Amino acid sequence: MAYKLDKNKILGYATLIMIAMGALLVCLGAFKYSEIAGWGFTTVGVGFLAIAWVFNALKGRV
């Protein structure tokens, strides 16, 4: 049985991975690194979440 991935499923999986990584980075920045490095982790995490939002918006249109 071959499992077929179309473009929408790939974008869906990419969105889930990006949301997980973005949330992880935001949590690292907020809870583990409370000094100046936390701002960098949080900023990159928000960037991951923004890209995940774009991936989710592209589902069905590509």
For 8-22, write each residue's pLDDT tens digit.
888 889 999 999 999
The one-character DSSP state at 60 is T
The domain locations on the chain are: 7-58
Measure the CA–CA gap between 4 and 29, rounded to whole angstroms: 37
For residue 38, the model assigns a pLDDT of 87
Contact 59, 6 (CB under 8 A): no
For residue 5, the model assigns a pLDDT of 85
Gap between the terminal Cα atoms of the chain: 26
For residue 59, the model assigns a pLDDT of 83
Residue-by-residue pLDDT tens, the chain, 62 positions: 667 888 888 888 999 999 999 999 999 998 888 888 889 999 999 999 999 999 889 887 77
